Amino acid sequence: MPTTAEIADAVASELRTGPFDPALDPVRAWLPLYDLGEMVDLHVTIVAAGRTIAPACRGAVQVDHRIEVAVQQKVAVEDPALADPILALAEGIAAHLTGRPLAAAPQAQWTKTEHAPFVAPEHLHELRQITSIIIVTYRTWEPA
């Protein structure tokens, strides 16, 4: 069974080969933090954020793997039109991952996609940076 980190790697691989223009170069990390000077460029960071384990049946458990995709870039907050393409990309990433099996982790079944926060208000206010988080949950089954 794949680990949560392996599923996060599979999500990064899926986004690298996705139909995005320009192509994405997502990075898997444990924390999507960058120097503010680096944020003039778009950053897509994949984080293995957690797991929930619950009984599935006698002798097996279901494991829900929470993967977060952070889409971040510095913008001039006075002009909302500059933020719109970044948020459209985040929506496109969410749509691309929704319902899609992962080629690098075929045993992981997609269960849900959340897009919250759509924009992190504290990042926008304090850092003048768009930070949008897509949360995708994949399910696997393991012996108890």
What pLDDT does 4 receive?
A: 98
Residue 101 — pLDDT band, cuts 50, 70, 90? very high
Q: Is residue 21 part of a domain?
A: yes
What sign has the CA pseudo-torsion 100, 112, 94, 49?
negative
Residue 134 included in any domain = no
Please check whether residue 35 lies inside any domain of the structure: yes
Amino acid at 124: L
Q: Determine, yes or no, domain membership for 120.
A: no
Note whether residue 138 is domain-resident.
no
The 3-state DSSP class for residue 143 equals: strand
Whether 74 is covered by a domain: the verdict is yes
pLDDT digits (tens, 9 = 90+) for 112-144: 999 988 888 888 888 899 999 999 999 999 998
Q: How many CB atoms lie within 10 A of CB 38?
A: 11
The answer as to whether 117 is a domain residue is no
What is the rounded CA–CA span in Å between residue 71 and residue 86? 8
Average pLDDT of the segment spanning 26-33: 92
141 part of a folded domain: no
| DSSP letter string, 44-96 | EEEEEEEEEEEEEETTEEEEEEEEEEEEEEE--TT-HHHHHHHHHHHHHHHHH
Range(s) of the domain holding residue 102: 4-48+70-109
Number of domains in the chain: 1
SS3 132: strand
